[in-house]
Chains A and B, each alone.
Chain A
Amino acid sequence: DAGVTQSPTHLIKTRGQHVTLRCSPISGHKSVSWYQQVLGQGPQFIFQYYEKEERGRGNFPDRFSARQFPNYSSELNVNALLLGDSALYLCASSQTSFENIQYFGAGTRLSVL
């Protein structure tokens, strides 16, 4: 069975641009969470979506948004990119919104120049 897949693997953008990151959860998983991992730090929670509804939001500005589709895949959008948005963006899926075991994808590495 396929694990959590994220695309693209790497991305280079310039300041002020917009970016969309994509995530496909494990088959049968209905919850998707997004994390930002800045180099040298632990991942920080951005969003959780379950059944297409936002179930949690971390301390990130409104430039960050996400959505979940009927097939449970998800997109993370970041507008007006800043240099500080450069990071590894991780997606994790779980069967339910309260399921405590999350399975992580390999991430999308975003570089903002």
Chain B
Amino acid sequence: AQSVTQLGSHVSVSEGALVLLRCNYSSSVPPYLFWYVQYPNQGLQLLLKYTTGATLVKGINGFEAEFKKSETSFHLTKPSAHMSDAAEYFCAVTPSYNQGGKLIFGQGTELSVKP
């Protein structure tokens, strides 16, 4: 069965520093991969998604992620962290093409940004 692992439950960076949040998926290549962000007391907001084509995906708020099949990874990056980026980030996949309504999430990474 498909699963998602996010390395590091807490990541702390300084404002202006590179943000790198790690995500690995298991078994076969999932059809779709996502990153969602969750601010305190709010639902999840889609940052970006990968379906097919270019492996480097650009999302909102300056985030991007690269799909690397050989490494079974879909890491999220942002060149320069901003205080407003502090939130919980979730990597997710769909298990198959006809199960778009079912997302499998990682356990999440809490990002802290120090001034």
Contact = CB atoms under 8 A, between A and B. Distances in A.
A42 B104 CA distance: 9
Contacts of B101: 31, 33, 48, 50, 55-56, 92, 94, 97-99, 102
Nearest to A106: B43
Given A106-B43, A107-B43, A100 B49 contact: yes
Interface string B103-115: 1111110000000
Contacts of B36: 104
Contacts, number: 74
A55 B96 CA distance: 13
A4 interface: yes
Interface residues of A, number: 30
A98 B103 CA distance: 11
Interface residues of B, number: 28
Interface in B65-92: 90, 92
Contacts of A107: 43
Contacts of A105: 43
B43 A90 contact: yes
A80 B14 CA distance: 46
Interface in B21-60: 31-32, 36, 41-46, 49, 51
Contacts of B105: 42-44
Residue of A92, A98, A105 ringed by the most chain B CB atoms within 10 A: A98
A45 B107 contact: no
B93 to A, nearest CB: 10
Interface of B: 4, 9, 31-32, 36, 41-46, 49, 51, 90, 92, 94, 97-108
Interface of A: 4, 31, 33, 35, 40-45, 48, 50, 55-56, 58, 90, 92, 94, 96-107
